[in-house]
Amino acid sequence: MPHSTSSNPIVATFGSYFRARVLRRLAVYLALMLSVVWSLVAMEQARFDQLAELGSKNNVQNLSRAFAEEVRATLAVVDLSLVQLRGTWQRDQADFGKAVADHARYLRDRVPMRIAITDDSGRLLSTGATTARAGLMLGDLPQFGIHRGRKDDLLAVGGPEHCRINGRPALQLTRPIRDGAGRLSGVIAASVPPAYFLRFYDSIDLGPDTTVSLVREDGTVVARNTQGGRNLDMGRRLTAAPFLSTGAASGAFRRASQLDGIERFYAWRRLPEYGLVVTVGQAVHDAQARYAQQRAVMNSAGVTVSIVLALLGWAAIGAADRRRRALKALAAAEARWKLALNAAGDGVWDCDVTTGMATLSPNAQRILDSEHAEISWFGNKGIAELLHPDEVDGIRAALGAHIAGETPDYSYQHRIRLRSGEWRWIEARGTVVERGERGEPLRMVGTFSDIDARKVEEERIRRMAHEDALTGLPNRVLLGDRLDQAILGAQRNGHKVGLIYFDLDKFKPVNDTHGHAVGDRLLRMVAARVRGALRESDTLARVGGDEFVVLLPRCSQPLDAERVANAILARLEQPFHDGELVLQISGSLGYALYPDCGGDGEALLRCADLAMYDAKAHGRNRVSGSYRSRVE
């Protein structure tokens, strides 16, 4: 005889899950829960868009600031070169060609530029080279005409245009040459390739459609770089760009490019002293691509949660009239939970609060490096003995707050001493699951997680972000932070802040002769020797190949900074011994003081850098102060 439906064990077990009443309740449940789940997924996707926009804006703003300072520094070097070479021309024209050659050799790859001298009518007199096209007329160019009829010593920036001397694109920087009576007797000009300013593009990585641009204040593109090509848009005119209609020093916006149609997040900064604007743009799709994996994970999580909720809801509703089965399912779920924790590497603990004894799972024993499966939680001989002294008070406060009902759960990251004496970072989590009639805690369960590897990696990343990998000195980022803090302290207390910028003379021959390994060891020896000449409160940072900066957070007068600079120079002049090698170098040092030479850290760095170049210009192996410091 066939079995009846009620006698079939499979039907008896699962038949209630397919009843119409259960299915109706399941449909209502899913309508509510899935709307919540996918609303949360949509909110998270929107949050990723916001994070992408915020991160991109921060990136392009920081990079535009760095790009602006690089352009400003480059133009300052060119302007200083014009002033020095103009003086040479006025003193001894016969020596001008040698001075131009020496200047080009000194700058090397720092700033490629061509020098030209014209008379007051614009006729070319000299380029410092024997092949100069003497007599070539340049007086009709705007940057030459601007000096006529003026009495000041004005730096004019013109271009971009094709240089009439060599036929190549160039940005023209000019200064007037005046006779003893102040009359215009000529013009000195420096031609700099616009593409030179685009080298900044090679140092950033914001995606394949990132762009950096140098634009005149009238919207003319001086130089522009993208992955597709370098400076293909030179001379094109931008219209309706936000920086054309405002006098603000900087800003940010989002729009599709007038040049290639790609929508980007842009940041710009104005260089009013040169009539230029720098822009950095990151493509919107490049910024959002950073979160593509998180988006996919979130969608997968939404699908997974939806399936899990459907199954759990179906199981819960179908088992509502089957209490015994529901209790068994709950017990199985708890077992699966513990199994999942153990499989994930987490350890489970169960603590009797009244006795202070905690039972540990095998993984918890492994994480705590404990020989026993039962250990005292609150007593002196137990977990309390293993805690790091610096974290005991914090652990007690967090645990006490949870037991008192002030926090929903207990969570704390701290160190545990292993039997070997080493320390391991763990994360402890727990919840009071049972309380007495008066609310006193009776039982607490939770987990231990081994987070030591994560902590080590976090510390490594922190060091990489703030330290120079070769010398271990603070890098430019950490120097900037300490400089800002020092200036804030000086503003509160009324003292001065000193900054010494120096690089190593004759360092390149060491690299060329003995190799980069010797050069690297020499840099480490320089760092150690110079650090020994400083106070504990001073900061020595490496900001470039052989360039260093010393921050003196408290100075009374320029003489303080000069003394330290001279002490550093004396140490640099002493021989460095690398095995059997004896290396002899020196240094060119420039110093500047806040607030004498600038109102912020960037201005102070710029003044010290220019002072260093002044030391180089006067023969190297010397100390030079900024102009205002020298006057004082």
Q: For residue 522, which phi and psi values (nearest 5 degrees)? A: -65, -40
CA dihedral 376, 378, 380, 384 (to 10 degrees): 90
- The average pLDDT across 291-295 equals 73
Please determine, for residue 497, whether its predicted confidence score (pLDDT) is greater than 90: yes
Please determine, for residue 5, whether its predicted confidence score (pLDDT) is greater than 50: no
pLDDT of residue 610: 93
pLDDT of residue 171: 82
Cα–Cα distance for residue pair 544/548, rounded to 1 Å: 7
| Confidence class for position 337, pLDDT limits 50, 70, 90 | low
Give the residue carrying structure tokens 């170098």: 585
DSSP code per residue over 11-75: HHHHGGGG-HHHHHHHHHHHHHHHHHHHHHHHHHHHHHHHHHHHHHHHHHHHHHHHHHHHHHHHH
pLDDT of residue 553: 93
Q: Choose among 586, 588, 578: nearest CA to 622.
A: 588
The amino acid sitting at 226 is T
Q: Would you call 107 exposed, middle or buried from its count of C-beta atoms within 10 A (0-12, 13-18, 19+)?
A: middle
| Confidence class for position 592, pLDDT limits 50, 70, 90 | very high
Strand segments, DSSP code E, in 306-438 are 347-352, 357-360, 374-376, 410-417, 423-435
Counting other chains too, the contacts that 597-606 makes at CB distance below 8 Å and 24 or more residues apart are 597/626, 597/628, 597/629, 600/487, 601/480, 601/483, 601/484, 601/487, 602/69, 604/483, 604/487, 604/497, 604/499, 605/483, 605/499, 605/501, 605/549, 606/69, 606/72, 606/73, 606/76
Computed over every residue of the chain, the mean pLDDT equals: 81
Q: Choose among 458, 459, 463, 578: nearest CA to 521.
A: 578
| 229: CB partners within 8 A, 6+ apart | none
Cα–Cα distance for residue pair 355/352, rounded to 1 Å: 6
Q: From the CB of residue 476, how many other CB atoms can be counted at a distance below 10 Å?
A: 17
Cβ contact 478:466 at 8 Å = yes
- The average pLDDT across 290-317 equals 76
Count, in order, helices (H) and strands (E) of the chain: 17, 24
- The average pLDDT across 399-424 equals 86
Cβ contact 487:499 at 8 Å = no
Facing residues of 374 across strands?
359
Cα–Cα distance for residue pair 572/531, rounded to 1 Å: 12
Q: What's the angle, vertex CA 335, arms to CA 332 and CA 339, rounded to 5?
A: 135
Of 47-51, 68-72, 363-367, which range is least confident?
A: 47-51
Of 235-244, 288-297, 301-310, 439-448, which range is least confident?
A: 288-297
Distances (CA, A) of 224 to 172, 190, 285: 17, 21, 20
Residue-wise burial string across 29-49, b where 16 or more C-beta atoms lie within 10 A, e elsewhere: bbeebbeebeeebeebeeebe
Cβ contact 546:522 at 8 Å = no
> Which H or E element spans position 205?
none
Please determine, for residue 631, whether its predicted confidence score (pLDDT) is greater than 50: no
Please determine, for residue 292, whether its predicted confidence score (pLDDT) is greater than 60: yes
Facing residues of 426 across strands?
414, 450
pLDDT of residue 349: 86
Please determine, for residue 301, whether its predicted confidence score (pLDDT) is greater than 90: no
| Confidence class for position 566, pLDDT limits 50, 70, 90 | very high
Please determine, for residue 362, whether its predicted confidence score (pLDDT) is greater than 50: yes
Q: Is 164 helix (H, G, I), strand (E, B) or coil?
A: coil
| Confidence class for position 499, pLDDT limits 50, 70, 90 | very high
Give the rounded percent of residues in the chain with a pLDDT score beyond 70: 85
pLDDT of residue 629: 47
Cα–Cα distance for residue pair 487/475, rounded to 1 Å: 18
Q: Is 97 helix (H, G, I), strand (E, B) or coil?
A: helix
Cα–Cα distance for residue pair 370/418, rounded to 1 Å: 8
- The average pLDDT across 151-170 equals 75
Domains of the chain: 343-457 (3.30.450.20), 467-631 (3.30.70.270)
Q: Is 467 helix (H, G, I), strand (E, B) or coil?
A: strand
- Give me the half-sphere count of Cα atoms (radius 13 Å) on the Cβ side of residue 183: 5
Cα–Cα distance for residue pair 466/581, rounded to 1 Å: 32
DSSP state, 568? H
Q: Would you call 4 exposed, middle or buried from its count of C-beta atoms within 10 A (0-12, 13-18, 19+)?
A: exposed
pLDDT of residue 589: 95
| Confidence class for position 126, pLDDT limits 50, 70, 90 | confident
For 205-261, the pLDDT digits (tens) are 777 888 888 888 888 888 887 666 666 677 788 887 888 777 788 888 888 888 888
pLDDT of residue 554: 92
Cα–Cα distance for residue pair 626/614, rounded to 1 Å: 9
Q: From the CB of residue 260, how many other CB atoms can be counted at a distance below 10 Å?
A: 15
For 37-63, the pLDDT digits (tens) are 888 888 877 887 778 778 888 888 888
Cβ contact 447:346 at 8 Å = yes
Cα–Cα distance for residue pair 250/512, rounded to 1 Å: 42
- The average pLDDT across 596-603 equals 86
- The average pLDDT across 619-623 equals 92
pLDDT of residue 332: 46
- The average pLDDT across 6-14 equals 53
For 418-460, the pLDDT digits (tens) are 888 888 888 888 888 888 888 888 898 888 888 877 777 666 6
